[in-house]
A and B are shown apart, each in its own frame.
Chain A
Amino acid sequence: MMDAIMTDGLSFAMPLLIMAIGGIYSERAGVVMLAIEGLQGFGAFVGAAAAVISGIYLGTESPLLIFIAMAAAMAGGAAFSSIHALLCVKFRAQQVISGMVVNTLAMALSPFLTSVINRAITGNESNKFQIGPSVRFTVPGLSEIPLVGGLFKSMYPFEIVIIAAALISCYVLYKTRYGLRLRACGENPHSLDAAGGDVNRTRTIAVLICGALSGLGGVFLAYSISATYSPNIYVGYGYLSIAAMIFGNWKIPPTACVCMFFGLARSAGYQLCLYLGMPGSYSDLLLTLPYALTLLLLVFFSKRNNPPRAMGETFDRSRR
């Protein structure tokens, strides 16, 4: 049972984490990011579409498909996030509203395009893509550790990619030139502007990175949860990752802990139901646990939050 909690917990936590990291890029750069929900869904759609279309040529069993899906999802998420970047950075739209615009657009466009593509390929107007199950693997050695060994059993290739992306993000945000400039944009964009940096460019890149990472998270969700892509991808996990980011105070390590907490609380709830032999409907009640706990914990920790100071402000050189 412990193994199952760990395995399932990790596979739920990882997509949340990568989306939350995307959010950290964007919001640390000063652009409010409510669009993660739409970006992950659209990314998942592009990834799934790419997998289905290339499946026609490579065969549906090809192990390459999952990597094609990943790459396409990241490209799709990034491309779609350019709408948010354009609206917020260039068109001076209110960032909260722009985020919701992107969500609405994604939720409308992806099922529409899915049925258009399905009609072209198969002739019937389904709004689902069958993408087949992902390969899974177990890390020898590590998986034998008691209690936490489950974390290393039947892992998705995505999980490795996401952990790598998280580590790289720590390096990018805190060690590189771009990271220094990005965080300056979120605290006081005028400082970067005065130092000769390009605030709008830095922010645009941050939003695009967020789109790519969210897309990756979305396609992972499509693979891990149902092995299909359907409009059910929009169940609000993007929003949940925003909550994790805020809870994690816009820093990667605490955010990772929050995501693991969400994942483990959720899988523990499921396993507890199975263990107690409760009917399936009772698991719904336990599923509220992570959300109720989040609210409760936020009551204690929210006061100490310090969001990026310049978040939500359109950069305007003449205002100072």
Chain B
Amino acid sequence: MSGSARRGGLPGASTAWTRFLEVMSGDKTSHIAIPLFSVALSMVAASLLLLALGENPLVAMAAFLRGSGFMVKPSYAGGQSALTDFLSFLGILAPMLLAALSVAAALRAGMFNIGVAGQMLAAGYVATILAGYADMAPALARPLVVLLGLSVGATMGAAVGFLKYRFNIHEVVSTIMFNYITSYVTGFLINTHYSDAITRSSRVCSRAARLTVTGIDVGGLRLTFPIGILIALAAAAIMKFVLDRTTVGFELKAVGLNRDAARYAGISVGRVTVFAMSVSGALAGLAGVTYYLGYYNNIMPKTLASLGFDAIAVALLGNLNPVGSIFSSILVTIFQKGSVYMSSTLGAPQEVASVITSVMLLFSACGACVRFHAARMLEKLAGRGGSDEGGGG
């Protein structure tokens, strides 16, 4: 390689290029370099889009950050500040991160959970009915909500895993069916029993059951802190440990990468399938309770949270890695949360945010291709170096 670099017309540029290719294709570096590269590309694309809409990209980006509480807005309504915006951002970041972890957990075991939204809804519904409408002390209600979210989600996930391994029903099909069934059944029950006459959603759940700590007094501001974000970060940490350092994590990855070889090695593929889907479902259930009992506090009947589908993009952008998911969910949530403020101040359509998110996903999906071509270019450079040496010898 050094040989070809020396022979190149521009030695500096050539080594930088080689170095870049090495980073993009290396076993150890590519999993960080490729997502960063795709994010950078998407930012360029987003800027072009904003320019086409007649907006200054820098101003628009600042507006996204202001809307999410990362930067201070020029003016605030009473009782509001960048801190309240930021806490609200954390409130919606929590279900996003949990849902992304849910998608990642399933995909690491080679399964595609499109049912995150349905699992969220089921968990949110059960927790709302059993804990949100009951008269309970917060110390009892909140753990109960978390527990219900976990168990309802895990049960639904396990059912998907079981149907796959026992009856060969593809998880994409069964999760779609479960999405519809959950949406219609909970919609029916809410409309017939728990509907609020004015909002047409379910009645608001009790304060005691919400996964938030209210009334924190900071410098005269009364703040609401979302407990969900702590749950989500803990879940990411636990998942990282399980995947990297435990035998079940080893089995899960083995099944995800090569089912046949995993079976040959004596790993019970059926058990791992059910386990991975239960974990995925449990994480989706947690996402559901933090979403429906913490951020919105009521349920819109017959509506699946689009967050459950956005999470697929977030998980892929985060390279199916728990730590990567933290960064990608922050990034995506900034655009989604900040879009309202951006739209109201600049007048550009709010949908720009989801366009930017999907463009990020588009570029990250090309990651394998970028890596492949980087490796091939590198090989070509090396090959040329080799043949030069061969010619000299």
State A298–B351 Cα separation when bound (angstroms). 38
Given A93-B368, A111-B351, A127-B351: A246 and B173 interface contact (C-beta under 8 Å): yes
Question: A100's contact among B169, B313, B352, by CB below 8 Å, is which?
Answer: B313
Instruction: Tell me whether B180 and A115 are in contact (CB under 8 A).
Output: no
Which residues from A are CB-within-8-Å of B306?
107
Assuming the contacts A294-B177, A303-B168, asked whether A91 and B366 have C-beta atoms less than 8 A apart, the reply is yes
User: Can you name the residue of chain B whose Cβ is closest to the Cβ of A285?
Assistant: B188
The stretch of B74-82, B226-234, B357-365 that contacts the partner chain: B357-365
CB of A292 within 8 A of CB of B369, answer: no
How far is B177's CA from A287's CA once the two chains are assembled, in angstroms? 12
Q: State whether the Cβ of B354 lies closer than 8 Å to any Cβ in chain A.
A: yes
What residues of B have a CB within 8 angstroms of the CB of A98 in the complex? Answer: 365
Indicate if A104 sits at the interface (CB-CB under 8 A): yes
> Could you tell me if B163 and A299 are in contact, using CB atoms closer than 8 angstroms?
yes
> Is B167 in contact with A91, judged by CB distance below 8 angstroms?
no
| Contact flag A292-B313 (CB < 8 Å), given A92-B372, A242-B172, A246-B173 | no
Contact for A295 among B163, B185, B361, CB less than 8 A: B163
Contact B177 A94 (CB under 8 A): no
- Verify A246–B170 contact, CB threshold 8 A: yes
Query: B170 contacts which chain A residues (CB < 8 A)?
Result: 246, 302
Complex: chain B residue closest to A293, CB-CB: B177
A108 touches B (CB below 8 Å): yes
Min CB–CB distance B239 → chain A (angstroms): 20
Please measure, in the bound complex, the distance between the C-alpha atom of A209 and the C-alpha atom of B365, giving whole angstroms. Answer: 23
Contact-residue size bin, chain B (C-beta under 8 Å from the other chain): 35 or more
User: Which residues between 112 and 133 of chain A lie within 8 Å of chain B, taking CB atoms?
Assistant: 112, 115-116, 119, 125, 127
Kindly count the residue-residue contacts between A and B in the assembled complex, taking CB atoms under 8 Å apart. 134
Q: Do the beta carbons of B368 and A100 come within 8 Å of each other?
A: no
A236 engages B179 (CB within 8 Å): yes
Whether the pair A291, B358 counts as a contact (CB closer than 8 A) is: no
Chain A nearest Cβ from B117, distance in angstroms: 10
- When distances are taken between beta carbons in the complex, the residues of chain A under 8 Å from B88 are none
- Contacting B168 at CB < 8 Å: which of A93, A104, A302? A302
Contact B172 A295 (CB under 8 A): no
Q: How far is the CB of B82 from chain A (nearest CB, A)?
A: 28
Q: Considering the chains assembled together, what is the distance between the CA atoms of A302 and B173 in angstroms?
A: 11
Cβ of A97: which chain B residues have Cβ within 8 Å of it? 316, 365
B interface with A by C-beta (< 8 Å): 53, 112, 114, 163, 167-170, 172-174, 176-177, 179-181, 184-185, 187-188, 191-192, 302, 306, 309-310, 312-313, 316, 349, 351-352, 354-355, 357-359, 361-362, 365-366, 368-369, 372
Other than the given A291-B177, A292-B177, 9 more pairs (CB < 8 A) read A91-B366, A97-B365, A109-B358, A112-B349, A284-B302, A285-B188, A288-B181, A298-B174, A302-B167
